[in-house]
A and B are shown apart, each in its own frame.
Chain A
Amino acid sequence: DVKVTQSSRYLVKRTGEKVFLECVQDMDHENMFWYRQDPGLGLRLIYFSYDVKMKEKGDIPEGYSVSREKKERFSLILESASTNQTSMYLCASSLPWTGVDEKLFFGSGTQLSVL
């Protein structure tokens, strides 16, 4: 089975801190994604990457950056954490789009609280 591992289940940070959320997948997937999930808003795409060192903005990239130096690892960076970034962060991976089987595999999520 595909395993997507997020480094922390719960994280508490102070306003203004730089925050790193790490995600590792073990199935050699090309695509990796970062979503945030807020009550009533569903999942919103922050950034995604379809190859090493490649990144694309999603719907809400402001205040975030990403890094993909290795195929299995996709990091989300909050340059200067703010209280409105308190959320559940979900990492996912998938095979490339082929029209065959593009399902997402998710990590367990990181609940980030910014105080």
Chain B
Amino acid sequence: SQQGEEDPQALSIQEGENATMNCSYKTSINNLQWYRQNSGRGLVHLILIRSNEREKHSGRLRVTLDTSKKSSSLLITASRAADTASYFCATDGTGNQFYFGTGTSLTVIP
């Protein structure tokens, strides 16, 4: 399977702190994406980083990509209670497929 893996599986922080979650994957990629899922709902796209990029920002989100280590990190700065959700990384595969990791469950305590 080309499925990636997020680390940690679960993360609990206080409001205002930064949250960092990591993703490792197995094969070469064209891009890597991060998605967010609120409990019991579908996933929402957050940010996409291409294989020739090393870092990307979007609002309070910062994503890094290290293709030599086949890993990525998602940093959420100044977290809010509303950031409580599960976060997934996804990599593109062959033939129009995406491969998702197992997710990091983030809890932000008010």
Size bracket, chain A contacts: 20 to 34
Q: Are B43 and A41 in contact (CB under 8 A)?
A: no
Q: Are B101 and A104 in contact (CB under 8 A)?
A: no
| Chain B 73-110 near chain A by CB (<8 Å), digits 1 or 0 | 00000000000000010101001111111110000000
B residues near A109, Cβ cutoff 8 Å: 40-42
Count B interface residues, CB 8 Å. 25
B residues near A42, Cβ cutoff 8 Å: 3, 88, 100-103
Chain B residue at smallest Cβ distance from A38 = B102
Task: Give B58 Cβ to nearest chain A Cβ, in Å.
Answer: 13
Answer whether residue A87 sits at the interface, using C-beta atoms and an 8 A cutoff. no
A residues near B35, Cβ cutoff 8 Å: 104, 106
Answer whether residue B31 sits at the interface, using C-beta atoms and an 8 A cutoff. yes
A-B contact pairs, 30 of them (CB 8 A): A4-B42, A42-B100, A42-B101, A42-B103, A43-B43, A48-B96, A48-B97, A50-B96, A56-B96, A58-B97, A59-B1, A90-B43, A94-B96, A97-B92, A97-B96, A99-B30, A101-B48, A102-B31, A102-B48, A102-B98, A103-B45, A103-B48, A104-B33, A104-B45, A105-B45, A106-B44, A107-B42, A108-B41, A109-B40, A109-B42
